Amino acid sequence: MGQYGKGTPVWRIKALKKREECEDKLPKEWVIPKTLWETLPLPLEENKVNLIDLDIIRRSNVLTEREFEITENHTVVSLLEGLSTGKFTALDVTTAFCKRAAVAGQLTNCITETLFDSALARAKELDLMRENGQLKGPLHGLPISVKDCLQIAGTQATIGFTAYLDQPPSEENSCLVDMLLDLGAVLYVKTNVPQTLMTADSENIIFGRTLNPWNTMLTAGGSSGGEGALIALRGSPLGIGTDVAGSIRIPALCCGLYGFKPSASRIPDSKQQGYGTGGLRTIYGSVGPIANDMDALEILSRAVLGASPRPALYDPGVLDIPWREIGEVKPRLRFGFLLEDPTFPLHPPVRATLEEAASRLKDAGHEIIPLPVEECHLAYALEVVWKFFSLDDSASEVVAQGREPPIASRAVVAKLVQELGSRFVPGFEGMAPLDRLSILNIKRGEIIKYWHTLWQKYDLDAVICPPAPNTAVEHDMYGLTPYTSFLNLVDYPACVIPFRRAGKFPDVKRQEVQFVPDYNGSSLEGAPCSIQVFTRRLRDEECLAISKVVDGCLHGAQAP
C-alpha cells in the first residue's frame, strides 16, 4: 500500500488497483498518444469539448482507414449484411470496434471490463463457421457492448461499488448474455454506471465519471451512461442497457441516440449483478437496446424475442410472448401530445423540439391530441416511484460497507426527493414497511387506471412527449426523471428518438415549486435533443413500428 501514499483510504487503493489492472489490458498501440492529449483542454469534464466534431477518433491514429470506415460508415443492418455475405470478416469488424472502444474509453471513462482477447478469438471461430457455409445466428459476428450489471463469466460486475471489488469474477453469464452468444453476437466490453445505479450521472469511485462526447462538461446520462458515451463515439454499433426509471432512455437523450425500453420481462433480465433486498421487487426494470439508428432497436428485439429456443427457456422469469408480426402501421395515427407540466417545465430547446416534432407529424397527416396535464398525473407518479425506491436502502448499505464516499449527484437527487414531500401519499412516513408497500401498490393501481381511461377516452395509438424537461445538463445536476420513470411505474414500452440540437436561448432559473435543473444557455447550446414515443403495456412491437414512422417524419430518408 505504500506506493499509494501513507494514509490512502482502502477504498481508494482498491479502486486504483482495479483501474491499473484495466489499463494494463489495453494494447500499447491502442493508447492515445500524449501529443493528442496536449491539444485538449484538461480536465475534459470542466471544459466544453465536442469530441465528435473534433473527429478525435481519427486523430488518435489508432484505427486504420479500413477500421475507421467499418465503424464510421455502417449501420447495424449493413454490418450484418456484410458479415453474412463475406464482405466483412467477423475478425475485421470486431478488431475495428475493439480499437474504437479502447479510444472512446480513454476519452470518456465509458468502459469497465474489456474482453478483447476472447472477442477476437470468438470472431475467428465465427469466420470459420461462415467459410463452412454456416451462420451462428441472426447476429452473426456483430460486436455488442453490455452494461456492467450484466454478468459475463470470467469478468467482474462491480456496478461501481468498491465493496464488490472483493468478489471473484462471475462464474456464469446473465441469461441475456447466453442468448446473445447463441444468436451469434461478439461481446467485447462492459460499460460504466453510476454508484448505486440510481442517478443520471454515470460516475463511481472505481472507474470515474463518464463524459458526454458532444460536450464533456455535460452528463452522458445514467445509469447506462457508459453505453451512451461509447455508442455516441461509435465505439459500439449496438449496446444493451437496463431501465428502471429511464436508464436506457436518459443516456439516449443525453448522447443523441435511439433507445428502447421494452415492457418488463419481455427481454430476459435474470442473473444480473444487483444489490437490492432479495424478493423486494417494487418497480420492474427492463433490458433493452441503445444504438445510432432505429432499425438496430428492432433487429435486437426481433432477434431475442423471435429466437429458438425462445427466451422463456433461457430465463424462467420472462414472459413467454414471442415476437409478434403486426403488419403495416395504419397511415393516419392518433398521437396523444403530453403537454408541459408546470411542476416539470421544459427547457427552451426541449419545448421547441417537441413543438417541431408535433408540427411535422401533423404535416404528414397524423392527428395530434393534446392531453391535459391534470389527466396525466406526472407529479403523482413521480412521488409514488421514489417512495417505492425508498423502501430499500441496500445501495447505501453497500456504499457504507466499502467505506467509500457517495458521489455528488446522489445528494442532488436526495434533496429533490425530499422536496417532493407527500402530497399524494400523505402519512407515509409513519407507516410500517408492509403497509407502505400496500399503499404504494394501491396508488400505482390508481395511476394505471387513470392512463387506461385516458387511452380509451382519446382513442390513442401512441403518445409523444419529451424524455425529460431538459437535454443533458452539467455534471451532477440532472436530478429527477418525471417523463421517464412514470412509464416504468405503469410498465409501458417507450422509445427515444434523437431530433435536432439545442439552439441558443436565454438562461432560465428554476422556481421553488419546480423540479428541473437550471437552463444555462451557453453551456447547453449544441446538446442533442430528442422526443419519446410510448404505447400501452406489452405493445412493444407496436411501439417500435410507430416509432419508426415517427422517425421517418422527423428525418425523412436521412439519419440524424
The catalytic residues are 147, 223, 247
- Beta-strand pair 208-209/494-501: unpaired
Please indicate if the annotation marks 547 as binding a ligand.
no
Tell me the CA distances in angstroms from 280 to 431, 445, 448, one per residue in order: 17, 18, 21
Residues in a beta bridge with 289: 240
Please indicate if the annotation marks 485 as binding a ligand.
no
Please indicate if the annotation marks 305 as binding a ligand.
no
CA 296 and chain centroid, separation: 14
Cα(432)–Cα(198) distance, rounded to whole angstroms?
24
Please indicate if the annotation marks 414 as binding a ligand.
no
**Listed residue (113, 110, 70) closest to 93, CA to CA:** 70
In single-letter form, the type of residue at position 124 comes to K
Contacts for 434 with CB less than 8 Å, ≥ 6 apart: none
Cα(265)–Cα(113) distance, rounded to whole angstroms?
26
Contacts for 381 with CB less than 8 Å, ≥ 6 apart: 447, 482, 485, 486, 489, 490
In single-letter form, the type of residue at position 152 comes to I
The cell numbers describing 50, all together, are 465536442
Please indicate if the annotation marks 554 as binding a ligand.
no
**Listed residue (43, 235, 213, 208) closest to 109, CA to CA:** 208
Where helices occur in 337-377 by DSSP H, the ranges are 348-363, 373-376
Determine contact, residues 63/96, Cβ cutoff 8 Å.
Answer: yes
Residue 227 dihedral angles phi and psi, to the nearest 5°: -60, -45
**Listed residue (407, 403, 405, 345) closest to 201, CA to CA:** 407
552 membership: H or E segment, kind and range: helix 540-555
Contacts for 109 with CB less than 8 Å, ≥ 6 apart: 192, 207, 208, 209, 210, 211, 226, 229
CA torsion 314-315-316-321 (nearest 10°) is: -90
Helix or strand or coil: residue 359? helix
The cell numbers describing 495, all together, are 422509445
**3-class secondary structure per residue, 195-245:** HHHCCCCCEECCCEECECCCCCCEECCCCCHHHHHHHHCCCCCEEEEEECC
Cα(531)–Cα(545) distance, rounded to whole angstroms?
15
Please indicate if the annotation marks 78 as binding a ligand.
no
Residue 113 dihedral angles phi and psi, to the nearest 5°: -105, 140
Annotated binding site for substrate: 197, 223, 244-247
